[in-house]
């Protein structure tokens, strides 16, 4: 394992050819910084499954950058999940982020079981590990939006580690103390799970509000005041400054690296990564 902090980025599958072009432009800019890995998400309800598989494979094959593929249980039978894992393996992908996934209405909507499928991410962890994959899972410094039960979240992470998960990537958050609390709580239970903080450089105030409500992330008052009334470049500048401060505090607290939620735009992520010395 490298002694220097890791630098990783996350993209979502584009909806059309224009979005795909923007994704590759962003990836080209970020690849100049040699990220440790790139991850590609699924949409709610597994709605972008095929694009995720295609884009993830293309990134691996065309850039040589290690790729972590997201995989969710939503709307898939066990045999379909095995088929997806086999496709990833054929594309040279050996690491996945195993998630239950969000129903079509989002994380707070009722869960709908798929006959012959899985209802919990720990089942997917076991499957992927049995097929030889390195497996990461999700962590929630502000609690999982479907439960808002911090202690249950800890139990779930411990069980996923028991089943073979080796690291967790957090949802985005804005309070470094919550990351430290999560790590210390896991350590107190004997966990050796590596927890990588996920950071979202703010670029759009309305988008931030929508996403925060969706995933249950708390927006501290100081950030609301900082970006209130701003738009365009002013929001991006403030977002970069906020992210630099958060990332610096996380690294000082011993975070093993930073995972950036790019929203398929490279500029802010590149600026923050350079400013905090990740690259």
How confident is the model at residue 191, as a pLDDT? 97
Chain segment 174-223, per-residue pLDDT in tens: 999 999 999 999 999 999 999 999 999 999 998 898 888 878 888 999 99
Chain segment 139-169, per-residue pLDDT in tens: 999 988 777 788 999 999 999 999 999 999 9
Query: Which helix (H) or strand (E) is 30 found in, with range?
Result: helix 17-31
Rounded to whole angstroms, the Cα distance separating 77 from 251 reads 40
How confident is the model at residue 217, as a pLDDT? 87
Please tell us whether the domain made up of 6-275 is placed in CATH 3.20.20.220: yes
| Cα torsion angle, 192, 68, 181, 129, sign | negative
Beta bridge partners of 137: 168
**Alpha helices in 64-172, H assignment, sequence order:** 78-90, 121-130, 150-162
Rounded to whole angstroms, the Cα distance separating 166 from 161 reads 6
How confident is the model at residue 143, as a pLDDT? 85
Rounded to whole angstroms, the Cα distance separating 12 from 238 reads 23
Annotated catalytic residue 10:
yes
The catalytically annotated residue of 10, 161, 194, 271 is 10
How confident is the model at residue 1, as a pLDDT? 43
Rounded to whole angstroms, the Cα distance separating 73 from 178 reads 28
Stretches where the chain sits below pLDDT 50 are 1
Beta bridge partners of 40: 11, 69
Q: What is the largest CA-CA distance in the chain?
A: 51
Q: What are phi and psi of 50, to 5 degrees?
A: -65, -40
């Amino acid at each position: 394992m490298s002694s220097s902090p890791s630098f990783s980025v996350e993209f979502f599958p584009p909806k059309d050819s224009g979005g795909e072009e923007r994704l590759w432009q962003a990836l080209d800019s970020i690849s100049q910084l040699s990220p440790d890995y790139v991850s590609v998400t699924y949409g709610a309800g597994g709605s972008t499954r095929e694009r995720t598989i295609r884009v993830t494979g293309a990134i691996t094959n065309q850039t040589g950058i290690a790729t972590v593929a997201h995989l969710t249980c939503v709307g898939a039978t066990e045999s379909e999940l095995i088929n997806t894992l086999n496709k990833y393996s054929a594309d040279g992908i050996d690491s996945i982020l195993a998630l239950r996934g969000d129903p079509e209405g989002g994380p707070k909507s009722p869960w709908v079981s798929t006959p012959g499928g899985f209802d919990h991410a720990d089942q997917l962890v076991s499957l992927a590990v049995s097929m030889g994959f390195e497996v990461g899972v999700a962590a929630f410094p502000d609690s999982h939006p479907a439960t808002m039960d911090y202690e249950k979240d800890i139990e779930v992470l411990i069980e996923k580690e028991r089943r073979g998960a080796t690291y967790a990537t957090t949802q985005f958050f804005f309070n470094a103390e919550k990351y430290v609390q999560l790590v210390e709580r896991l350590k107190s239970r004997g966990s050796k799970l590596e927890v990588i903080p996920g950071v979202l450089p703010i670029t759009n105030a309305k988008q931030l509000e929508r996403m925060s409500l969706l995933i249950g992330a708390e927006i501290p008052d100081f950030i609301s005041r900082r970006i209130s009334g701003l738009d365009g470049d002013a929001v991006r500048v403030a977002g970069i400054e906020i992210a630099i401060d958060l990332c610096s505090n996380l690294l000082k607290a011993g975070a093993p690296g930073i995972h950036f939620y790019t929203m398929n735009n490279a500029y802010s992520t590149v600026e923050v990564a350079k400013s905090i010395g990740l690259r």
